[in-house]
Structure 1
Amino acid sequence: MTDEGGRESLEALRSDVSAMGKDTVAQLEKALDSLETGDETLAREVIEGDERLNETYLALESQCVDLFGQQEAFAGDLRFITASFKIITDLERIGDLATNLSEYALAAKHELIPDDAVDEIGRDALSMVERSLAAYEASDSQQSREVVASDDQIDELCRTASETVTRDLIEREAESDGPWMVEQLLDDVTRVLLTIRDIERVGDHAVNIAARTYYMVESDPKFIY
């Protein structure tokens, strides 16, 4: 896109995707806060705000399609538009996962399983999303590589946390006072395991954003999978 108007359109897209990213991060942060504190108001704010993110996604999808239709685009411009198109999809899905986490927070009224480790993993995943978006905004391939490299660490943390929760269930079941207590333990364990799974998926989407950014900058698809 050699004309000034085309360049302005690309910069507008970058700005709009970054704004969606900030909204998504805010949603995720509130969801994690609601898990930690049990704040039902925060949880409901996230759930109610999901439709806003969906509308933003659809508007940006249309914006990307319009840019694809413009003529005489450089290869770098096409990579940027493609990366942006893929990144807004990951952001929309992170928003969905934030909604899931808020729903788990609302369901955790009689929690018997401690969530301290889960809280820490959630903050790690949030940091991954923030760093991947910063890499996109700055076209920073090095930071993209660092986000991708951190994926194995959060996967291991999630695996360890899941094993700890399951082991805790077995120990508590042996000490339980009856079938009601066992049923409650199972409910809590299921909720926590689903929470861990969804936090791990947030990390996966952050890696996707970083991988697309790396491809956008370096024209190298090696991190896309």
Structure 2
Amino acid sequence: MPRDAFEDRLTRLRADVAALGTDVVGRLDRATTAYERRDPDVGRAVATTDDAVNERYLALERECIDLLALYQPVASDLRVVVASFKILTDVERVADLAANLGGYVEAMESDTIPNVPIADIADMALAQLDGALTAYEDGDAERCREVAAADTDLDQRCGAAADDLVRTLARHSPADGDTEALLADTKRYLLAVRDLERAGDHAVNVAARTLYMVEGSHELVY
């Protein structure tokens, strides 16, 4: 098949993967905002529309397979297809994490945990994801390394979140009958923090695969 046709499809693949990533980051942003605001309607909207992301993910995965089968790319072209295939998996898993967060909002009890925000953690994870996807779209190797380096700060903040919660709970005495609800909400808070930390891990994966795509380097793959 003509080289021009392959290049057009490769360009379109990268644009479509980046567009799906941008959509997924928006979903995670909405889910964390819903969690912060205790807004079950928005949380439910994120949690119940994950199938649409899955359909786009599967379509793009099939496109990667078609490109490999039809054109048998080599060298840098092969790296683009393989990296895109891997990145799609991370993007889809971030969408699952967004759906998780949306689901937590639906189940939260009101006012059992004094305000323990996750907004700063969410901002860090979202910034990593934005940076990783921009690096993929632009082929920016240096930005890949910046995303990976930032993950240490996110991990430390997530680790501190449990300490924040313990200090907050130490000052809070639940009313009679509220203990079970408090435990349930505490577990959900810790799950929300874990999911945001995992979103950052997926951002590093995207950056690692992008660096491989651009430079052929496995420096960030671990």
- What is the aligned partner in structure 1 of residue 162 from structure 2? 162
Tell me the CA shift for residue 182 of structure 1: 2.3
Relative distance call for 1:224 and 1:56 in structure 2 (3 A) is same
- What is the aligned partner in structure 1 of residue 66 from structure 2? 66
TM-score by length of 2: 0.94
For the pair 1:183 / 2:203, whether they are aligned, the reply is no
Residues of 1 paired with 2:15 and 2:145: CA distance?
Answer: 22
Residues of 2 paired with 1:161 and 1:212: CA distance?
Answer: 29
- What is the aligned partner in structure 2 of residue 75 from structure 1? 75
Residues of 1 paired with 2:195 and 2:107: CA distance?
Answer: 15
Tell me the CA shift for residue 97 of structure 1: 0.3
Identity in percent: 42
The residue type paired with residue 102 of structure 1 is: G
Tell me the CA shift for residue 112 of structure 1: 2.5
Q: Quick check: 150-159 or 74-83, which moved more?
A: 74-83
Deviations 1:32-61, CA, capped at 9 Å, x for gaps: 111122222211221222000000010011
Residues of 1 paired with 2:48 and 2:72: CA distance?
Answer: 41
Cα RMSD (Å) of the superposition? Answer: 1.7
- What is the aligned partner in structure 2 of residue 137 from structure 1? 137
Relative distance call for 1:224 and 1:2 in structure 2 (3 A) is farther
Show structure 1 runs of 5+ residues with no match: none
Relative distance call for 1:218 and 1:38 in structure 2 (3 A) is same
Tell me the CA shift for residue 12 of structure 1: 1.0
Relative distance call for 1:110 and 1:141 in structure 2 (3 A) is same
Q: Secondary structure at the match of 2:23?
A: helix
Contact 2:36 2:117 in 1 (8 A): no
TM-score by length of 1: 0.92
Residues of 2 paired with 1:71 and 1:213: CA distance?
Answer: 21
Contact 1:111 1:188 in 2 (8 A): no
1:1-225 superposed matches below 5 A: 3-71=3-71, 73-172=73-172, 175-178=173-176, 180-225=177-222
Q: How many aligned residue pairs are there?
A: 222
Tell me the CA shift for residue 62 of structure 1: 0.4
Show structure 2 runs of 5+ residues with no match: none
Deviations 1:156-178, CA, capped at 9 Å, x for gaps: 00000012213433453xx4444
Relative distance call for 1:141 and 1:62 in structure 2 (3 A) is same
Tell me the CA shift for residue 82 of structure 1: 0.8
Contact 1:2 1:72 in 2 (8 A): no
Residues of 2 paired with 1:37 and 1:7: CA distance?
Answer: 45
User: Post-superposition, which runs of at least 4 consecutive aligned residues in structure 1 deviate over 6 A?
Assistant: none
